[in-house]
């Protein structure tokens, strides 16, 4: 019984279970799709409890991490995605999807991932804020040629920022003030892992038909997703070691430079174009969680 309990608390097993369940039993996604946003908000609330309130009393300390987040997400990752897409993608719908993906800010899931991999949570939070502020300018300008208006992009970014960053931050401060965080500490990891189960299962299940019926069309998409994580991540890590950046900050830089807001990308691509254009974001979401499992294994091997 103890072994089963331990297995049900293991992050890698839970994420793998979510992937397989989404592919084999997609029917429940009609209900779980309504739980994904609350699940992500819960993850953000639990994860940001570990961020010191002193961070926000010194705005100057946020400037460098915010600029690093903007550089890693748009300078490094966006450039990598666009570069590979221009070489390997000849399908117009898929190309549109990769353009949308490249324009996205960093994923808010970087915060809980930073916590899982013992990175610099304050640095990651400031980096995400920098990415979102940059996106509010970059995204509407580029999308203007497709939409003729930037209203939709601004609305989606604003909702994502409020629901997944601002509200969880406020709630986490209240939990700290009321000293409830100490009671949640023993179950913190379990809550985060099973919340991610809901998110991963839903994304995979909703796209199960495309994943299983059009595998050849997805090969170049998968190759770019793999390259932007499994290749780019170790390169950023190597550069961090070369410049003797502390390991915690390096973890944050790797995450900021390899993970986009795929959910937002899929939503915008689907609304502007069609479901085919949402494939790059969908496939990247699946590989993101495989990437997280892989990072966990690598971190344990290196100890």
Kindly report the number of other CB atoms within 10 A of residue 254's CB atom. 26
CA distance 212 to 275: 15
DSSP-derived 3-state class of residue 260: strand
The list of the chain residues with pLDDT below 50 reads none
Query: Pseudo-torsion of CA 259, 261, 263, 264, nearest 10°?
Result: -160
Q: What are phi and psi of 106, to 5 degrees?
A: -65, 155
- Write the CATH number for 211: 1.20.1530.20
Query: Does 18 map to a domain?
Result: no
Kindly report the number of other CB atoms within 10 A of residue 152's CB atom. 15
What's the gap between Cα 235 and its chain centre?
A: 19
What pLDDT sits at residue 205? 87
The token duo for 129 is: 């804020």
Tell me what percent of the chain is helix, strand and coil, each rounded to the nearest 5: 85, 0, 15
Number of domains in the chain: 1
What pLDDT sits at residue 157? 64
Query: Does 102 map to a domain?
Result: yes
Query: Does 16 map to a domain?
Result: no
The token duo for 224 is: 């770019």
Query: Does 203 map to a domain?
Result: yes
CA distance 103 to 281: 12
Query: Does 14 map to a domain?
Result: no
Give yes or no for a contact between 88 and 267, defined as CB atoms under 8 angstroms apart. no
What pLDDT sits at residue 233? 97
Query: Does 10 map to a domain?
Result: no
CA distance 293 to 163: 26
CA distance 221 to 52: 39
DSSP 107-136: -TTHHHHHHHTT--HHHHHHHHHHHHHHHH
Give yes or no for a contact between 40 and 199, defined as CB atoms under 8 angstroms apart. yes
* Domain around 166: 28-301
What pLDDT sits at residue 239? 97
On the 0-12 / 13-18 / 19+ scale of CB atoms within 10 A, 126 is: buried
DSSP 37-106: HHHHHHHHHHHHTTS-GGGGG-THHHHHHHHHHHIIIIIIIHHHHHHHHHHH---HHHHHHHHHHHT--B
Query: Does 11 map to a domain?
Result: no
What pLDDT sits at residue 145? 60
pTM for this predicted structure: 0.82
Closest listed residue to residue 196, CA positions, set 48, 24, 11:
11
Kindly report the number of other CB atoms within 10 A of residue 239's CB atom. 15
């Amino acid at each position: 019984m103890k072994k089963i309990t331990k297995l049900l608390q293991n992050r890698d097993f839970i994420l793998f279970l979510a992937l397989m369940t989404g592919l084999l039993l997609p029917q429940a996604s009609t209900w779980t799709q309504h739980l994904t946003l609350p699940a992500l908000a819960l993850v953000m609330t639990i994860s940001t409890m570990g961020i010191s309130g002193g961070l926000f009393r010194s705005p100057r300390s946020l400037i460098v991490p915010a600029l690093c987040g903007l550089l890693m997400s748009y300078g490094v990752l966006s450039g990598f995605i666009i570069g590979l897409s221009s070489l390997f993608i000849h399908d117009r719908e898929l190309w549109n999807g990769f353009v949308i993906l490249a324009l996205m800010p960093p994923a808010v899931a970087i915060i809980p991932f930073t916590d899982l991999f013992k990175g610099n949570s304050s640095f990651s939070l400031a980096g995400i804020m920098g990415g979102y502020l940059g996106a509010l300018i970059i995204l509407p300008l580029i999308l203007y040629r497709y939409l003729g208006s930037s209203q939709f992009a601004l609305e989606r970014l604003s909702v994502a920022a409020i629901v997944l960053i601002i509200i969880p931050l406020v709630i986490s401060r209240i939990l700290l003030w009321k000293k409830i965080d100490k009671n949640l500490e023993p179950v913190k990891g379990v809550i985060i892992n099973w919340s991610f189960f809901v998110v991963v299962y839903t994304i995979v299940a909703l796209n199960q038909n495309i994943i299983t019926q059009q595998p050849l069309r997805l090969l170049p998409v998968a190759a770019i997703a793999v390259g932007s994580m499994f290749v780019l991540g170790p390169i950023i890590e190597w550069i961090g070691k070369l410049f003797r950046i502390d390991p915690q900050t390096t973890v944050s830089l790797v995450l900021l430079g390899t993970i986009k807001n795929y959910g937002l990308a899929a939503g915008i691509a689907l609304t502007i174009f069609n479901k085919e254009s949402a494939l790059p974001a969908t496939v990247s979401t699946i590989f993101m969680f495989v990437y997280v499992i892989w990072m966990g294994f690598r971190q344990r091997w290196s100890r």
